[in-house]
Amino acid sequence: MKVKTGIDLVDITEFSKSMQNGGENFLHRVFLPSEITSLDPEHLAGLFAAKEAITKALSLGPGKWLEIEITHEESGRPIAKIGVPTKSQDLSISHTKTHAVAVFVAIL
């Protein structure tokens, strides 16, 4: 049994600028249509942090954004759907006014 952890912190200002500069190409490279429930940079920065945390935990390598889908339970709790099988996993996302942070833990 292996425990894998990943964490990522995103500066929302920097994320906003990258999103604005990168335009639709940026959006569609990183997010699945089901994830774009809002174009609010805060919301998307949180998803980005989540995907980056998952990438780090599972050593997926760069550019695998669309292989990760972040959805939410009715309670609002985020869930990650990934191609890599895990015995158990958990994801948490949080925001301040200036930053979004995500932590992902998986048991392989």
Partner 1 sequence: MYETIPEFLASVANRYPTKYALYIRRFLRTTRFTYREVEQISLKIASYLLENGLKPQDKVLIWAPNMPEWVLALFGCLSAGIVVVPVGLHSTEEVVGKYIEQTRPKVLFLSKFYPIDFKKPEHKNIKIINLEDLVGLVENVSIKKMPNLSKNELGEIVFTSGTTGEPKGVMISHHNILFEIEQLLKTVPHFKHYRLLSVLPLSHVMEQVVGLMTPIARGGTIYYLPRINTVTIKKALRKYQITDLGAVPQMLRMFLDSIEYQVTEQGKSGSFNFALKLAAVLPITLRRQLFSKIHEDLGGKLYVFGVGSAPLDVKLAETWEAMGIKVVEGYGASETTGGVTANRIDDRIIGSAGKKIPGMELKLSSENEIQVKSDSVTRGYFENEEKTREAFTADGYFKTGDVGYLKDGYLYITGREKFKIVTAAGDKIYPEDIERKLNSHPDVWDSCVMGIKKDDGEIVHAEIILKPKAATKVEDIVKKINLELEPNQQIMDFSLWTDKDFPRLHTLKVDRNEVRSMSENTSQTKNKVTNTTISSEDTLKNILSKVCKIPGSSITDNSNLVTDLKLDSLKRVELVSLIEEEMGVELIEEDIDNETTLKNIKQQVSSHKKISYPYDLDSITKKLREPFSSYLRILLQDLFVFPILRFFVKVEVKGDIDFSRLKLPIILIGNHPNPPSDIGLLLSILPLRIRLKLAAPANDWPYRTQKYLINAILSNLLGGTFPINTHGKPVGKSLDAILDFIEDGYSLYIMPEGDVTPIGEKLGPLKPGLAQLFANTDVQFVPFYISGDVYGSFYRQKDEHHTYYFPHGFSKIIFTFGKPFTLLDKDENESMVTIKEKILELAPSL
- Any idea what DSSP says for residue 66? G
Q: Does 92 bind partner 1 (CB under 8 A)?
A: no
Of the pair 1, 59, the CB lying nearest partner 1 is at: 59
CA distance 58 to 35: 21
Q: Does 82 bind partner 1 (CB under 8 A)?
A: no
CA distance 63 to 52: 10
Among 6, 30, 58, 89, binds partner 1 (CB under 8 A): 30
Token couple for 9: 């912190």
Among 1, 2, 59, 62, binds partner 1 (CB under 8 A): 62
43 flagged as catalytic:
no
56 flagged as catalytic:
yes
52 is an annotated ligand-binding site residue: yes
Distances (CA, A) of 87 to 3, 64, 98: 10, 21, 34
Of the pair 37, 88, the CB lying nearest partner 1 is at: 37
